[in-house]
Amino acid sequence: MRKNLGPKTMCYPMPVYIIATYNADGTPNAMNAAWGGISEEKEISICVDSAHKTARNLVERKAFTVSMATAGTVVACDYVGIVSGNQEPDKFAKAGFHVVKSEFVDAPLIEELPMALECKVISYDQETCRLVGEIVNVCVEESVLDVNGKVDVVKLQPITYDPVNHHYLALGERVGLAFQDGKALK
């Protein structure tokens, strides 16, 4: 028996993206976005309300990075979701984050977050809130790569947001092989 929960913003998994930009004075800013996703090959789209400091920065710098929040950085990643860069100019530093300069875009990488997409703004519409970014590079700390140079999810420990229970969850064990398991039904 199915129960109707009404029109809700609810699905699994939801991401925990940390969007980082430079402010007008060159200091870094970061915000938590537990929504959005890959919208095309090498393209990510995330709703950013025009009231956010990040929104102004996107318009001015035309660049942003998207880091994956991780199990070991939950407190910092949650903090940048509950405090506004408009009210707290030292938000980035208070989170304990340190800037790593991006080689590709005019936006900061975050030393403490080992995987990030470096993006150029394709478009940002203040009316609809839709930010579309071209992924020009993915950079990853060597410590979370496996022996073949590929991202090791167990080392990275990316997290996901549970929109119903307001929890952050780790990713769990492997339950299947994509493009493989379904062949059994062919």
Query: Restricting to residues 98-117, which ones interact with a second copy according to CB under 8 A?
Result: 100, 103-104, 109, 115, 117
**Shortest distance (Å) from residue 5 CB to a second copy:** 4
Question: Applying CB under 8 A, does 87 fall inside the site for a second copy?
Answer: no
**Shortest distance (Å) from residue 60 CB to a second copy:** 23
Length of the chain: 186
Three-state DSSP at 68 gives strand
Question: Applying CB under 8 A, does 40 fall inside the site for a second copy?
Answer: yes
d(CA 66, CA 162): 19
Question: Applying CB under 8 A, does 44 fall inside the site for a second copy?
Answer: yes
**Shortest distance (Å) from residue 56 CB to a second copy:** 20
Question: Applying CB under 8 A, does 42 fall inside the site for a second copy?
Answer: yes
- The first and second tokens of residue 147, run together, are 């022996």
**Shortest distance (Å) from residue 76 CB to a second copy:** 7
d(CA 136, CA 66): 12
d(CA 123, CA 133): 7
Comparing C-alpha atoms, which of 150, 158, 173 is closest to residue 15?
158
**Shortest distance (Å) from residue 137 CB to a second copy:** 5
Considering only residues 46 through 75, tell me which ones interact with a second copy, judged by CB under 8 A: 47, 66, 68, 71, 74-75
The span of 23-31, 51-59, 131-139 binding a second copy (CB under 8 A) equals 131-139
Q: Which is nearer to a second copy, 26 or 166 (CB)?
A: 166
Total of chain residues touching a second copy, rule CB under 8 A = 97
Task: Tell me which DSSP letter residue 87 carries.
Answer: T
Please select the residue that binds a second copy; options are 64, 79, 92, 124, rule is CB under 8 A.
Answer: 79
Q: Which is nearer to a second copy, 24 or 170 (CB)?
A: 170
Tell me the sheet residues that pair with 31: 19
Q: Are 73 and 18 in contact (CB under 8 A)?
A: no
Q: Are 148 and 155 in contact (CB under 8 A)?
A: no
Q: How far is CA 3 from the centre of its chain?
A: 32
